[in-house]
Amino acid sequence: MSTTELLKTPLNALHRELGAKMVEFAGYDMPVQYPAGVMKEHLHTRDQAGLFDVSHMGQILLEGPNAAKALETLVPVDIIDLPVGMQRYALFTNETGGILDDLMVANLGNDRLMLVVNAACKNEDLAHLRTHIGNQCTITPLFEERALLALQGPQAVTALARLAPEVAKMTFMQYTTVQIDGIDCYVSRSGYTGEDGYEISVPADQAESLTRRLLAEPEVAPIGLGARDSLRLEAGLCLYGHDMNPDTTPIQASLLWAISKVRRADGARAGGFPGAEHIFAQHQSGAARKRVGLLPQERTPVREGAEIVDADDKVIGSVCSGGFGPTLGAPLAMGYVDAAFSALETPVWAIVRGKKVPLLVSKMPFVAPRYFRG
């Protein structure tokens, strides 16, 4: 795809003004890094506050008295009892229990839900919603109307509270409407880095002015997709299309926590979502393969796609995400392995350029999260 054919976020010109290196991502022209480079951007986010353009993500509004009940038929998550002003992580599943996408769902009150879905899946997700629940609620895509910013890091609250003091009182996963520098925004205290921080939904035509205002704060620096990836990997967070896909169930992906207890086999509203029986059976009997954390025992980075073998060179899995963790100061990876090799501290090996690199199955997250829970 040439850059003229790529979609652009409302901040495209600003990224170029700031000297960003631009790459194609999910059909968009996106900043992978700025002149500081991925390592410094990563560490700045861990130490202060990083500002990410995530406007390529899809924002979708569901409205109507049946919206929550309808959405529950597509996800293994408690939506009906999601309190007003809170958001929750959810998964769209298919008939075999595979993951079609992961998303965030917020309850805006007044029978309105805001969804944030992945950029590469947003058109399919919109069609999925319209096909299955379009007759039960109003579904409005806000792909062009709204931009999305993520302000992440321990100083995010300091920087944002100067412009909107009420955000300091929010706790992890709270969601509210806030005026920031005179602009009406939706703000959640959440993110994709393992750090405290906020995601800010802003009208597209006001995104650049708000971004400039945030970048004027001394703690805040622009951060690209490169550091976003290394930060989320250290946090042990899945990237759709890499660490999960339609052939991967929540059990295989080690995402049982994302299936609300009320929706599990023994819950008050058990099942009722696509693939429920497959998922429950796998939860009961165990998955044949599991997503695990992997720590290379050498300095060699292990990348996505590398085969994982046992001591006898038998292939037992593959790496789904891998790279260098700047906070960890070492390489790290996630991968799928046969269940017999999924216990912590199990030694396995990755094949990198024909050489065996020793790995240890490790707990995740690799870097402890610092979400603000109050």
Mean pLDDT value across residues 196-201: 98
Measured CA to CA, the distance from residue 222 to residue 260 in angstroms comes to: 35
Mean pLDDT value across residues 217-223: 99
DSSP state of 346: -
Residue with tokens 């805001």: 114
Summary mean pLDDT of the chain: 97
pLDDT at 3: 59
Give me the DSSP letters along 65-98. TTHHHHHHTTSSS--TTPPTTBEEEEEEE-TTS-
pLDDT at 193: 98
Q: Which two tokens stand for residue 336?
A: 């799928």
Mean pLDDT value across residues 6-22: 98
Q: What distance lies between CA 184 and its chain's CA centroid? A: 24
Cβ burial 259-280 (10 Å sphere, 16+ → b, else e)? bbeebbeeeeeeeebbbbebbb
Q: Are 44 and 69 spatial neighbours (Cβ–Cβ below 8 Å)?
A: no
Per-residue pLDDT at 4 exceeds 80: no
Measured CA to CA, the distance from residue 284 to residue 297 in angstroms comes to: 34
Number of other CB atoms surrounding residue 312 within 10 Å: 6
Per-residue pLDDT at 196 exceeds 60: yes
Q: Which residues pair with 115 in a beta bridge?
A: 60, 105
pLDDT in tens, 46-94: 999 999 999 999 999 999 999 999 999 999 999 999 999 999 999 999 9
DSSP state of 264: S
Residue with tokens 């090996």: 349
pLDDT at 80: 98
Q: Domain locations in the chain?
A: 12-56+144-234, 288-365
Residue with tokens 């795809």: 1
pLDDT at 317: 98
Per-residue pLDDT at 33 exceeds 60: yes
Q: What is the pTM of this model?
A: 0.97
Architecture of domain 288-365: Beta Barrel (2.40)
Mean pLDDT value across residues 290-317: 97
Measured CA to CA, the distance from residue 330 to residue 325 in angstroms comes to: 6
Q: Give the list of residues 6+ apart from residue 247 with CB closer than 8 angstroms, or none.
A: 98
Mean pLDDT value across residues 103-118: 98
Mean pLDDT value across residues 174-202: 98
Query: With bands split at pLDDT 50, 70 and 90, how would you rate the model's confidence at 2?
Result: low
pLDDT at 1: 54
CATH 3.30.1360.120 is held by the domain 12-56+144-234: yes
User: Cis peptide leading into 274, omega within 30 of 0?
Assistant: no
- Percentage above 90 pLDDT, the chain: 99
Per-residue pLDDT at 354 exceeds 90: yes
